[in-house]
Amino acid sequence: MANDVLKTLTETLEARKNAAPESSYVASLHHKGLNKILEKVGEEATETIIAAKDAQSSGVTKDVISETADLWFHSLVMLSHLGLTADDILQELARRFDISGLEEKASRGHSK
């Protein structure tokens, strides 16, 4: 399911790039430019962190799901603005499948 959702959303985001800003939220973000998009990514990252802390203490996960969706969505808009797609990120994650995070870190000389 994950890749179908990303594929459909990627197609929608691509189509919205040239839409009129008053007709679409995504188009309005592109129209405002990268700084506005990055502001939204930062906001949603902060809201995700707060929702995750709340989920840990309350056991209620609804908000962390919603905030993470907002973060992923705005990150995809950022990538689209830069001419990239979810596929670029999925390829990078796939490339890392056989690489242990600890080994990769050590190979960079960060042994902490």
The residue among 46 and 107 lying less far from ligand PRT, judged by its C-beta, is 46
> In the window 27-86, what residues touch ligand PRT (CB under 6 A)?
27, 70, 73
How far apart are CB 13 and ligand PRT at their closest, in Å?
7
Q: Should residue 25 be labelled a site residue for ligand PRT when binding is judged by CB under 6 A?
A: yes
CA pair distance 16, 8, nearest whole angstrom = 12
Size of the site for ligand PRT (CB under 6 A): 9
Cβ-contact 15, 95 below 8 angstroms: no
